[in-house]
Every structure is written in C-alpha cells, then in structure tokens.
Amino acid sequence: MGEFVVRGGKRLNGTVRINGAKNAALPILAATVLATEPVILHDVPDLRDIHVMIAVLRSLGMTVEKAGRDVFVDPRTLNSYVVPAELMQEMRASIFLLGPLLAKLGAAEATQPGGCAIGDRPIDLHLYGLTSLGATVHDEGGRTVLRAKKLVGNEVHFPFPSVGATENVLMAAALAEGETRIRNAAMEPEIVDLAQFLERLGATVRGAGTPDIRISGASMLKGAEHTVIGDRIEAATFVLSTAAVGGDITVKNCLVDHLPGLWGRLQEIGVMVEEIDADTVHIVSEGRFKPIPVSVATAPYPGFATDCQPQFMSFLLAVPGVHLVTERVFENRLGHAAQLRRMGAQIIADQRVALIYGGHPLHGAYVTAPDLRAGAALVIGALKAEGESVIAGREIIERGYEQLDVRLSALGANIQAR
C-alpha cells in the first residue's frame, strides 16, 4: 500500500488548475454506450476509476483510446451487456452501465458494485427507475439481470434525490420511447454536464439542474465531442488546504457557483475569497480565524456537499471554537475523525455527528485513509500538523486526486509519495 509523507507547517502559494471532474467523467464515459458513432471527450482526469471505466467499456467490446486527457470512444463494436464481476468490484461507478446497456442492447447484467465504504449504498433507486421504464429485474446467482424488449418513457419519482440513480434513468430515458419525467431528481452540476453530453448526442433534456427533469427519447443517438466540467470537489480540497495552513492561491477551472455553502462560511471565519471570474477564485488565508462556532450539515446539491465534509472537518480543526458537523447523506462517512485524533485532534464523533474542538495544535502521526475524501482530509490535517505524518492508503486517495503530491508541492507543501 502506497503512502504520502507530509511535513506540515508550510504555507501554500501559487496557482492550481483544477482537472476535469471524476464524477462527471464517469457517467459520461458510461453514456458513450448509447452512441452509434465515435465520441471524443476532453479533460478526462487521469485517475484509477477512469482507467477501470475504460476497462469496462473495452470488456463490452468497445474501442477506447486514451491520449493524455482526451479519450476517444468508438461504440460501434459494442457486443456484450455483461459487466465483468471483477471490474464491478473495483468501483461504485460501474453501476452507471446498467441504464445505457439496457437502453442500447435490451439487457444489462452486473453484480453489486464496490466503491468507498461510506455506507450501505444499495441500488434500489436505480432499479426502481429502470423498471419504471419497462425493465424486468432478476437476481440470477448473485448477478442482477435487467431486460427490456423496449424502454418506454414514464414518470419516475425518487423518494430521495440519488445522484447515480438520476444519472442512470437519464441515460436510459435518452433512448426510451416517448417522454420520461424524473421528479425529485438530484441537481448536482455533474448531472447537468451529463445532460449536456446527452444533448450533444441528440437527446432532448429539459430541467437538468432542477428537481424536475424531462427527457424526450431518441430512436438513435449520434457521436459527439464534449469537455468535462472542472472538479468542484478537487477545487474545494485545494481551497480548504490553503485556508487551513495559510497562503495565497488562485484556483482555475472550477465554476465558483458549483460550491454553494463553502465560500460564505470561509468568509465568515476570516478567509478572503475573491471571485476573479466565473471559474477562477482567489483565496488568501493567514491561518488565523475568528472564533466563530460553525455548524455544517451535508445535503444533496445545492446543500453542503458530502464529498467536501471530511476536508471541511480538517479545516475546522484550525478554527478556534466548538463546531458541529452532521453527515446526512451517507450513514458511515466520519471515518476520518478517528484517524485525525491520532494527530491530536479533539473530535467526538458517532456515525453521523461530530463535535470538533478547534484551534488546538496537531502533531504528525501514522494514519490510514479509510476512504477517498477521508484520505484527503488526512492530507489537510498533515499539512497543518507539526512534524512528519505518514498517510497510508495513497491509492485510495488517488482514486479522486491526480498527482496530489506534485500539485501540492508546486504550491509549496512538503509532501512526497512513496
């Protein structure tokens, strides 16, 4: 298992360009199954999950070439609807193949997906959405098998705005007969990016980014070229690292509007946030903060992003006062609290709620990333801590961050990968 070795206490200064979003690129890659002509994608991040998704597409018979951040997909050789079990285990996002395969080939077969251990993460809402469009679902020896002679548009009303289930239904509906209406849809920016990609393929999607999406299915979808949006979670991670340790950074290629709830809180506490333009933000932090108690509860977009919660908790350790963090999206996403305590953090946490006693110094420690964003939170803790920290589980962090050590080092951090 790889590690990051961090010597804390260095300010961060300079400019960082944010990469394309993992969580937008993954469903868009899955959606290439729907096309009948080649697709070219730009700004696809060079991450493990992306490599796994490309391996899945190839295992289905598709031709995929990757050159740097450009990915070329030729879906015309698609010849299988079975997602290999070993690739399903690798990541949660393999579930995104169900909707597109069903719509394109009339069947899809997969095992339960793997992914970050942050909760149970069932797939009932995905199956509810796809069966609403006419699919049958069977469990065949641990494999979920979906079939549909044809998909027909329908109303799909989610009890909870699941990001992945909204994306799966959006993709399936793009090739269904007639109109599909998704009520209580998730509103995340990654859903809007997927909808824009589907529109480039020739689908008609209205209302993406609102809870009420309407999709008019097409009989066939063509090819397209598309650039993936900037990764708002990666941007937030660089911003919160700088806010915690102090520094002056400019963050490029992240739409400022994609992180509601973050900027106002940082400003209240004493971090200077300047919006240079729609996708460039300038952050100045002295690493000293107003002793204001902060309370944050995660929620589906436009609420505070659960994918930023661990990093924000690490930042709060630097802010004097008693703070409250409530995780409302996943039932087991506070695994970083116990690891941060090894650095001297004063945190009381149960499964969903944490009390953070901020403003106390942290010291270096040997810690292990329990999941992707928790790992990022440990990096922030280590950047702030006095002395050396070793963060085990580098591969888990690298699922979502490309060259984190190189990019933080360029800003002045002392961090090495080994």
Ligand X SMILES: CC(=O)N[C@H]1[C@@H](OP(=O)(O)OP(=O)(O)OC[C@H]2O[C@@H](n3ccc(=O)[nH]c3=O)[C@H](O)[C@@H]2O)O[C@H](CO)[C@@H](O)[C@@H]1O
Ligand Y SMILES: C=C(OP(=O)(O)O)C(=O)O
Q: Are 107 and 134 a contacting pair, CB within 8 Å?
A: no
* Integer Cα distance of 390 and 1 in angstroms: 12
Among 47, 141, 140, 60, residue whose Cα is nearest residue 104: 60
Catalytic residue among 116, 192, 203, 305: 116
* Integer Cα distance of 380 and 378 in angstroms: 5
Q: Are 73 and 62 a contacting pair, CB within 8 Å?
A: yes
Q: Does 230 bind ligand Y (CB under 6 A)?
A: no
Q: In the complex with ligand Y, which residue's Cβ is closer, 44 or 151? A: 44
Of the residues 10, 69, 92, 226, which one makes contact with ligand X according to CB under 6 A: 92
Q: Does 93 bind ligand Y (CB under 6 A)?
A: yes
- The mark string for 128-147 relative to ligand X (x by CB under 6 A, - otherwise) is --------------------
Q: Are 371 and 332 a contacting pair, CB within 8 Å?
A: no
Q: Does 43 bind ligand X (CB under 6 A)?
A: no
* Burial of 289: CB neighbours in 10 Å, binned 0-12, 13-18, 19+: buried
- The mark string for 252-291 relative to ligand Y (x by CB under 6 A, - otherwise) is ----------------------------------------
Of the residues 10, 69, 92, 226, which one makes contact with ligand Y according to CB under 6 A: 92
**Is beta strand 3-7 parallel, antiparallel or unpaired with respect to 414-417?**
antiparallel
Cα torsion 82, 88, 94, 99: sign: positive
Binders of ligand Y: how many residues, by CB under 6 A? 10
- The binder of 165, among ligand X, ligand Y, none, by C-beta within 5 to 8 A per type, is ligand X
Q: Are 64 and 30 a contacting pair, CB within 8 Å?
A: no
Near ligand X by CB under 6 A, which window of 124-132, 192-200, 203-211, 223-231? 124-132
| Known catalytic membership, residue 308 | no
Of the residues 2, 14, 61, 122, which one makes contact with ligand X according to CB under 6 A: 122
- The binder of 180, among ligand X, ligand Y, none, by C-beta within 5 to 8 A per type, is none
For residue 148 the two structure tokens come to: 């549909």
At its nearest, how many Å lie between ligand Y and the CB of residue 158?
17
What does the angle CA 163 – CA 165 – CA 168 come to, to the nearest 5 degrees?
A: 110
Q: Does 23 bind ligand X (CB under 6 A)?
A: yes
Taking the CB of residue 49, how many other CB atoms lie within 10 A of it?
23
* Integer Cα distance of 278 and 297 in angstroms: 26
Q: At what angle do helices 309-316 and 232-245 cross, to 10 degrees?
A: 10
- The binder of 372, among ligand Y, ligand X, none, by C-beta within 5 to 8 A per type, is ligand Y
Residue 10 assigned ligand-binding role: no
Binding residues for UDP-N-acetyl-alpha-D-glucosamine: 92, 121-125, 307, 329
Binding site for ligand Y (CB under 6 A): 23, 91-93, 115-116, 307, 372-373, 400
Binding site for ligand X (CB under 6 A): 23, 26, 92-93, 119-126, 160, 162-165, 186, 190, 306-307, 329-330
